């Protein structure tokens, strides 16, 4: 790498970055190693979560050019102070668009074959690169960085744990202020305010608060509808901490719940617990999905479980692996995934229960501390 970690860690107050720098340069080395056999001699990373994963840079405009011995981070003048604080790459402050500056360096470094992220680039960006690729060949590459990102390091797991704990604390704080008659938007607002107050970067996705029959919409957008008595209330929320996401869903009762709603809750909870129980390194993701569905089938509710059982999460709220019916991908120790079966009956209501867990060699660790006993408000 062009800048040594110790050089960057010299200044007082900059030492905390040192261990991070090492982790990022190791990730880059692992990534560069992974394309050694492909005859690709440089790689242009344009997806921001991937740039962040490999460099530590958290800004909103960047591209990373990696060769066997160089790491160039392109960003714009807004980040000229932040970029060297966050990463130990060779920082190039671009005066023009990044995709104008990056190819100049590709030529300068005598690159012959440049890998790029084929699923992460716009047609316009590709077209632009192609027009500038006079002396090098463009090689589309699939989800190589995403594959590396699936298994989390100890530092990443510690950060996800913080995000999960903060999220649950925000949930507790917000619920304490709950009053009947409050709207879905009021409660969503209180939740996101609490996240901020507790130190989150922000919500990791738009908080879902749905009451009554609206709980049957798996991704309901909070509305001005008042949360009244004797109905279901579903909250799906996640906080981002130091770039890492958490994700949790709890379904509650406001006042009295019908026997049907309580039975749905029991079924979904049993399904979620059985699915969690099935998790361990080495099994296919589809096994976890099947475990969840088998329980719901016993209750005659499997037909209304209309999404997959879970997803990986990390620098993005949805990343690999997918925990679905047809996913043959084997789970590995260190993967961070959600387990979130749900049942949705149109015009009646829905129940979903979701935790964030870490796959281990012999099972998994449920990070989410929030109770799954049915909460009645």
Per CB under 5 A, residues contacting Zn ion are: 236, 247, 249, 338, 354
Which of 291-295's residues contact partners 24+ apart within 8 Å by CB, and which partners? 292/339, 292/341, 293/325, 293/341, 295/267, 295/270, 295/271, 295/341
What is the closest distance, in whole angstroms, from the C-beta atom of residue 11 to Zn ion in the complex? 40
What is the closest distance, in whole angstroms, from the C-beta atom of residue 273 to Zn ion in the complex? 17
Which of 261-267's residues contact partners 24+ apart within 8 Å by CB, and which partners? 261/232, 261/348, 261/349, 261/351, 262/374, 263/299, 264/301, 264/343, 264/345, 264/349, 264/350, 264/351, 265/351, 265/374, 266/299, 267/295, 267/296, 267/298, 267/299, 267/301, 267/343, 267/351
Residue with Cβ nearer Zn ion (249 or 368)? 249
What is the closest distance, in whole angstroms, from the C-beta atom of residue 343 to Zn ion in the complex? 15
Residue with Cβ nearer Zn ion (102 or 317)? 317
Coil, strand, or helix at residue 86?
Answer: helix
Residue with Cβ nearer Zn ion (117 or 247)? 247
Residue with Cβ nearer Zn ion (88 or 236)? 236
Cα-based angle 242, 246, 247 (whole degrees, multiple of 5): 160
What is the closest distance, in whole angstroms, from the C-beta atom of residue 78 to Zn ion in the complex? 32
Contacting residues for 53 by C-beta, under 8 A, at least 6 apart = 27, 145, 148, 149, 315
3-state secondary structure 208-264: EEEEHHHHHCCCCCCCCCECCCCEEEEEEECEEECCEECCEEEEEEECCCCHHHHHH
Residue with Cβ nearer Zn ion (27 or 149)? 149
What is the closest distance, in whole angstroms, from the C-beta atom of residue 216 to Zn ion in the complex? 16
What is the closest distance, in whole angstroms, from the C-beta atom of residue 205 to Zn ion in the complex? 7
Residue with Cβ nearer Zn ion (190 or 322)? 322
What is the closest distance, in whole angstroms, from the C-beta atom of residue 347 to Zn ion in the complex? 23
| Locus of tokens 């798996």 | 218
Distance CA 112, CA 114 (A): 7
Sign of torsion over alpha carbons 58, 60, 64, 70: negative
What is the closest distance, in whole angstroms, from the C-beta atom of residue 208 to Zn ion in the complex? 7
Residue with Cβ nearer Zn ion (50 or 251)? 251
Residue with Cβ nearer Zn ion (41 or 354)? 354
Distance CA 156, CA 52 (A): 13
Residue with Cβ nearer Zn ion (192 or 354)? 354
What is the closest distance, in whole angstroms, from the C-beta atom of residue 159 to Zn ion in the complex? 18
Distance CA 1, CA 89 (A): 7
Q: Which residue in 289, 288, 267, 293 sits closest to 278, CA to CA?
A: 288
């Amino acid at each position: 790498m062009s800048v040594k970690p110790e050089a960057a860690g010299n200044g007082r107050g900059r030492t905390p970055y040192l261990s991070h720098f090492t982790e990022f340069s190791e990730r880059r080395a692992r990534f560069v190693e992974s394309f050694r056999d492909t005859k690709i001699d440089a790689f242009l990373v344009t997806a921001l979560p991937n740039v962040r994963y490999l460099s530590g840079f958290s800004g909103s405009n960047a591209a990373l050019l990696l060769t066997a011995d160089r790491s160039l981070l392109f960003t714009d003048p807004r980040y000229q102070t932040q970029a060297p604080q966050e990463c130990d790459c060779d920082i190039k402050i671009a005066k023009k668009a990044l995709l104008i500056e990056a190819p100049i360096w590709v030529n300068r470094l005598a690159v012959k074959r440049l890998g790029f992220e084929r699923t992460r680039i716009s047609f316009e960006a590709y077209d632009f690169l192609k027009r500038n690729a006079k002396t090098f060949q463009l090689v589309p590459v699939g989800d190589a960085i995403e594959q590396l990102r699936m298994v989390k390091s100890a530092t990443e797991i510690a950060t996800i744990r913080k995000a999960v704990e903060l999220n649950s604390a925000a949930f507790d704080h917000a619920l304490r202020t709950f009053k009947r008659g409050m709207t879905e938007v009021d409660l969503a607002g209180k939740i996101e305010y609490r996240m901020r107050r507790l130190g989150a970067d922000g919500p990791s996705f738009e908080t879902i608060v749905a009451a009554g029959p609206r709980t049957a919409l798996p991704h309901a957008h909070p509305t001005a509808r008042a949360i009244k008595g004797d109905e279901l209330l579903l909250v799906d929320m996640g906080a981002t901490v130091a770039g890492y996401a958490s994700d949790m869903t709890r379904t509650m009762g406001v006042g009295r719940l019908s026997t049907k709603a309580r039975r749905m809750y029991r079924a979904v909870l049993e399904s979620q617990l059985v699915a969690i129980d099935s998790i361990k390194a080495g099994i296919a993701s589809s096994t976890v999905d099947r475990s969840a569905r088998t329980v719901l089938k016993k209750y005659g509710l499997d037909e209304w479980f209309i999404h997959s059982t879970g997803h990986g999460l990390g620098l993005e709220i949805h990343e690999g692996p997918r925990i679905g019916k047809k996913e043959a991908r084997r789970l590995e120790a260190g993967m961070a995934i959600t387990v979130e079966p749900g049942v949705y009956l149109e015009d009646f209501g829905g129940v979903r229960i979701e935790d964030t867990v870490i796959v281990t060699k012999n099972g998994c660790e449920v990070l989410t501390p929030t109770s799954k006993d049915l909460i009645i408000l």
